[in-house]
């Protein structure tokens, strides 16, 4: 019966999508998603997200589906959660993948039609070539245009697609692009907070920070796929850091590129800087690690904790998973923690300073867990593999944050307004044809409406 119900829902959604595609633009205005979302909400969502319960502050039974522009902020939130498959909650019936894909496509298309300010720019409201060159230099180099950029402006070549992309690749190879690492990437992955990390001596903090900075610089200069921040199988080590990680064959104080022989470590999630920053001075923190992975990389923040939750008891030698299970006695806490604790527990083989370990509290570490959608994993390698299924959310989130940074928005959250989200989606779609390399994402941002407007909104 359940299987037939899902098939019926799929048929309803596909028929509705086809009918809406044939509806005249004057009638639908491109913002009507009722045919797709009404059956989806009825079957999976409104039991919890209604006017009475308002779980997570959402009342989907009253959300207007015939015109997403009337509450675009809520629809953008719905879209983010659909991309990360955060709903329905653990244990509840879930839509088939095809339903998710149809809903995401419908929401993206409707929201792209919802903002009238995204009209094509004309000469009166577009920045001049000289202004664009200045913005590019500020964005990528945190500096001023060099003679090559200025020459492209003088010749009228800067905005030609091939010339613009060539300039951006050149700028990323330049050492001045390291300012994009320190200004954005290090802050985005929390590495700029390493000097405040507890429990590490100054030499170790310096080594951990250098590892991450050199890694991020190589990602940018070599124009990697942005997802390589998770998956890259190399890092940079000197003898001090190699000893810390238990790696042999590295000598001298100079850092050198090192390729991992196995999949124990990879990318940012295997680096001591990230693992130390997301720990306390005397223990790891699966909660912090899980929340940071979901919030920083996927853009989905958990709800605020319930008030007056006592901290873990100090001087408790039991394994962290046992301590956490004893701590979570409030059902509301359990339901929320289930969405991110598993991600943190998958990293428990790394101690509070990022060293590999097999035991905790005298017992073998249990690094198993599952995502909200039920996909299981065990340990950091399987966690990274599992996160890849949410790459669409990752690409959208990193593009959104990078656009906010490029526009000069303040704070490490680099906010982007709802009416700028169609530009984010356009950048991601265009970058797909170029393997989501940093140059393609940055080129898309430079060509985007928010970046090219004569007067940038702050």
322 confidence band (pLDDT: 50, 70, 90): confident
21 confidence band (pLDDT: 50, 70, 90): very low
Q: What is the pTM of this model?
A: 0.90
pLDDT score, position 246: 97
Distance CA 264, CA 357 (A): 11
Helix (H, G, I), strand (E, B) or coil at 4: helix
Q: How many CA atoms lie within 13 A of 142 on its CB side?
A: 12
Which whole-number Å values give the CA distances from 79 to 75, 87, 88, in the listed order?
6, 11, 13
Distance CA 325, CA 312 (A): 11
H or E stretch including 359?
Answer: strand 359-360
Least confident segment among 238-247, 336-345, 377-386: 336-345
404 confidence band (pLDDT: 50, 70, 90): very high
Over residues 341-347, mean pLDDT: 93
- Cis before residue 404, ω within 30 degrees of 0? no
Distance CA 158, CA 164 (A): 5
Which whole-number Å values give the CA distances from 152 to 123, 125, 304, in the listed order?
19, 21, 50
Distance CA 269, CA 381 (A): 10
The β-bridge partners of 377 are: 369
pLDDT score, position 152: 97
Distance CA 297, CA 384 (A): 12
Does residue 365 carry a pLDDT above 80?
yes
pLDDT score, position 98: 93
Q: Phi/psi at 359 (nearest 5 deg)? A: -130, 160
Residue 230's contacts (CB-CB under 8 Å, 6 or more residues apart) are 266, 267, 268, 269, 297, 384, 387, 388, 394
pLDDT score, position 200: 85
Phi-psi region of 28 (alpha: psi -120 to 50; beta: other; left: phi over 0): alpha
Is 71 exposed, middle or buried (CB count within 10 Å of its CB: 0-12, 13-18, 19+)?
Answer: middle
Helix (H, G, I), strand (E, B) or coil at 408: coil
Six token digits for residue 205: 């903090």
Does residue 15 carry a pLDDT above 50?
no
pLDDT score, position 56: 73
Q: What is the pLDDT of residues 22-68, one digit of tens each?
A: 443 433 568 999 999 999 999 999 988 889 988 777 889 999 999 99
- Report the share of the chain in percent with pLDDT over 70: 89
Judge contact between 350 and 358, C-beta under 8 A.
Answer: no
Distance CA 133, CA 139 (A): 10
Does residue 207 carry a pLDDT above 50?
yes
């Amino acid at each position: 019966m359940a299987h037939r119900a899902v098939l019926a829902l799929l048929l309803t959604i596909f028929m509705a999508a086809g009918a809406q595609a044939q509806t005249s633009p004057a009638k639908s205005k491109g913002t009507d998603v009722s045919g797709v979302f009404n059956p989806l909400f009825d079957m999976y969502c409104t039991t919890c997200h209604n006017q009475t319960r308002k779980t997570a502050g959402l009342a989907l039974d009253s959300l207007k589906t015939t015109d997403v522009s009337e509450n675009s902020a809520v629809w953008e939130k719905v879209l983010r959660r659909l991309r990360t498959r955060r709903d329905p909650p653990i244990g509840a019936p879930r839509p088939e993948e095809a339903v998710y894909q149809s809903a995401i496509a419908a929401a993206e298309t409707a929201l792209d039609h919802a903002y009238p300010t995204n009209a094509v720019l004309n000469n009166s409201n577009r920045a001049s070539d000289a202004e664009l060159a200045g913005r590019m230099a500020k964005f990528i180099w945190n500096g001023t245009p060099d003679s090559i950029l200025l020459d492209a402006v003088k010749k009228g070549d800067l905005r030609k697609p091939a010339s613009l992309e060539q300039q951006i690749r050149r700028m990323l190879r330049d050492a001045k692009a390291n300012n994009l690492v320190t200004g954005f990437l290090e802050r985005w992955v929390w590495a700029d907070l390493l000097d405040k990390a507890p429990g590490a001596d100054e030499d170790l903090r310096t080594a951990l920070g250098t590892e991450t900075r050199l890694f991020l610089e190589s990602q940018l200069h070599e124009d990697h796929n942005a997802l390589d921040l998770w998956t890259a199988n190399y890092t940079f080590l000197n003898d001090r850091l190699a000893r810390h990680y238990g790696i042999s064959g590295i000598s001298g104080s100079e850092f050198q590129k090192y390729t991992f022989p196995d999949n124990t470590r990879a990318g940012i999630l295997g680096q001591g800087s990230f693992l130390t920053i997301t720990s306390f001075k005397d223990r790891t923190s699966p909660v912090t690690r899980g929340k940071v992975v979901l919030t920083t990389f996927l853009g989905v923040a958990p709800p605020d904790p319930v008030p007056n939750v006592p901290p873990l008891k100090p001087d408790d030698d039991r394994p962290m998973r046992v301590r956490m299970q004893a701590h979570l006695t409030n059902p509301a806490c359990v339901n929320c923690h289930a969405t991110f604790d598993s991600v943190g527990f998958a990293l428990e083989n790394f101690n509070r300073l990022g060293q590999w370990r097999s035991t905790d509290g005298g017992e073998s570490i249990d690094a198993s867990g599952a995502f909200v959608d039920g996909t299981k994993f065990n340990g950091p390698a399987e966690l990274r593999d599992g996160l890849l299924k949410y790459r669409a959310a990752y690409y959208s989130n990193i593009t959104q944050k990078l656009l906010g940074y490029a526009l000069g928005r303040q704070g490490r959250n680099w906010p982007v307004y709802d009416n700028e989200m169609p530009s984010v989606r356009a950048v991601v779609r265009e970058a797909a044809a170029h393997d989501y390399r940093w140059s393609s994402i940055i080129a898309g941002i430079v060509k985007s409406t928010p970046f090219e407007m004569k007067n940038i909104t702050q």
